[in-house]
Amino acid sequence: MEEAAIFGVYEYIGYSLCLRMLDLGMEVQGIHPESTADDYFTEEKRLEIGRNANFEEISLEEWEAGDGREYLFISLFACGKTRNQRGKLLEAINKKLEKCKSGKLAPVLILPANLAVKPNPQEAKGQQILRFRQGEVLTIYLPTVFGPWQPEESFFQQAMNCMEAERPAPRLGKFEWTYDALYIDDVACEILAMAESGTTGEYLLASGQENRWIQCAEQLLGKEGLPVRNSSKSPIMKDSVKIRIVSGNGEVSTGLSRQKEHYCRLQESRV
């Protein structure tokens, strides 16, 4: 793999993939649609990778008009907030995937694990995403992912902020996946390995460890501070989804420490 394009390049997973690719000497085109909401970290990310000669940020229109790169990664965690904006983004992606059928592109779709559940509580909302997943496409569903650059709305990052400010533990978000957790670097490496091997189909990445999300929460809040929700029994996945165990899972404490240290550095740089 020498060249790649990443749709959602400043989104958590997309950005981590981009960093990994640049470290490997790859050329990367990044697409960050204007209708996608910028989070707290977006400008910091843009400054960090903008100095790399192998990275080029392009507009949605430029991406639509271009022939594309050898590998295409689409991270759909940060679509536009309004239905109209979301529809435009999905339509652009759909057209691009149609081009991929006749070219060398090997599209990789990266989605939250909630969309792999059967029956899917988000089915009506997710139909637009799921309808264009045809042909030789690799679809990867992810559980909770932690580590540097985790979004501030994520439970673990909120828990760190609450502990720092001596506030009560945060509430679980509606879509927080409490059945498993993976470290961000392990996720990025696994996705790249799957893409390079030509793997297709639908996969849920998993740690293979029981109660790993709980382990993370306990590291941050202690057993008494854990959320009430039962996280031990994973929901039933759709029949088409295969479970893929991620190799090389690091220690939970190490990953969370790196996340906290990175966030503190970002905060200090803004003072």
CATH number of the structural domain spanning residue 133: 3.40.50.720
Q: Which pLDDT does position 170 carry in this prediction?
A: 81
* Residue 101 per-residue DSSP state: T
Residues comprising the chain, all counted? 271
Of the candidates 264, 242, 184, the one whose C-alpha atom is nearest the C-alpha of residue 14 is 184
The answer to whether 68 touches 103, Cβ cutoff 8 Å, is yes
**Residue pLDDT, tens place only, 100-157:** 665 555 689 999 998 899 875 555 455 555 555 555 789 999 999 999 999 888 999 9
Of the candidates 126, 69, 122, 127, the one whose C-alpha atom is nearest the C-alpha of residue 96 is 69
> If residue 220 lies in a helix (H) or strand (E), which one and from where to where?
helix 212-221
The answer to whether 150 touches 12, Cβ cutoff 8 Å, is yes
- Cα dihedral sign, 269-156-90-241: positive
pTM: 0.88
pLDDT bin (cut points 50, 70, 90) of residue 83 is: very low
**Residue pLDDT, tens place only, 162-197:** 877 778 778 888 778 999 999 999 999 999 999 999
How many C-beta neighbours within 10 Å does residue 16 have? 21
- Domain tally, the chain: 1
Phi, psi of 19 (to 5 degrees): -60, -45
Range of the domain at 220: 3-270
